[in-house]
Structure 1
Amino acid sequence: MNSKVEQPRPQNAGDIVKHVASVLLVLAGVFVFYWFSQWPGAIRALAVLAGLAVGLGLFMTTALGAQTRGFLSESRFELRKVVWPTRQEATRTTWVVAIAVIIISLLMAGFDVLIQAAVKWLLGQ
């Protein structure tokens, strides 16, 4: 197992300022996209991507960003352990699921018809 037990550091005022600044940078990119609608779409999209990249970069310098990096690193490590199905196994499983869904939907439709007929009979219609 690759888990490290670490006590989370308390957030200081600098981290909070960085969090606010990173959110403001992302919002500024979105603002540029909508406010400057006369600009070409590619430039507006680049403004959003730039705001997102700089905001994310600033966020990753905080304590919470370090925890996020650690989590993503451990998730990637665990993902390497996964045994993925072959294409043939995935296709067979997909067919089994599709057939099961069809059978269950037909059963439910049959129950619906029976219940509908019973209610009509009880109501005398």
Structure 2
Amino acid sequence: MESVDKFKMTAAVVLVALGVAGFYLVPADQGALRVLSVIAGLLLAATTIWFSQPGRNFVDYARDSVKEAQKVVWPSKKETWQMTGIVFLFVGVLALFMWAVDSGLTWLFYGVILGR
């Protein structure tokens, strides 16, 4: 990362900190102004990051992510319900299996080996 980008990232952190500090410096009865100071700090920080190389890389990554998400073939409502039913059935069968193993081991250890 270039020193200019490091400076921009540091400036963005400082801007967020100033926005939060503004929130606490403004009197409590000025709620809208307090929130506005935080929002202004965040917006100024985002603008600063936008013009840095890491910010541009993030924007490119986000655009590529949206393009990839548009390529996904989402299941229909019927397919979703079918898969949900299969998951519930599998969980039920697994729960019965785990109960049977637990009960069997309990009987083996406490009933047969320890004789309680």
TM bracket (short chain): 0.7 to 0.9
Shift of 1:55: 1.6
For 1:93, the equivalent position in structure 2 comes to 83
Structure 2 counterpart of 1:49, one-letter code: I
SS of 1:80 mapped into structure 2: helix
The answer for unaligned runs of 5 or more in structure 1 is 1-10
| Per-residue deviation, 1:71 | 0.9
1:106 matched to 2:67: no
Scaled by the length of structure 1, the TM-score of the pair is 0.73
- 1:61 matches 2:51: yes
Aligned 8 A contact 2:26 2:33 in 1:
no
State which of 54, 64, 75 in structure 2 corresponds to 1:74. Answer: 64
Tell me, which stretches of 5 or more residues in structure 2 are unaligned?
Answer: none
| Structure 1 residues 101 and 39: CA distance shift in structure 2, 3 A | farther
Counterpart CA distance in 1 for 2:109 and 2:52 is 63
Q: Deviations over 1:4-34 (max 9, x none)?
A: xxxxxxx222211111121232334444556
State yes or no: 1:124 paired with 2:115: yes
Q: Cα–Cα, structure 1 residues 89 and 37, in superposed 2: closer, same or farther, change >3 Å?
A: farther
Tell me the matched-pair count.
115
Structure in which a larger fraction of residues adopt helix: 2
Distance 1:115-1:63 versus aligned 2 partners, 3 A rule: same
Return the offset for 1:82.
0.8
**Per-residue CA distance 1:32-72 (angstroms, 9 max, x = gap):** 55666824655544443333232222112111111111111
Deviations 1:94-120 (A, max 9, x none): 121122112212211221121122221
Aligned to 1:19: 9
Q: Give the superposed CA RMSD.
A: 2.4
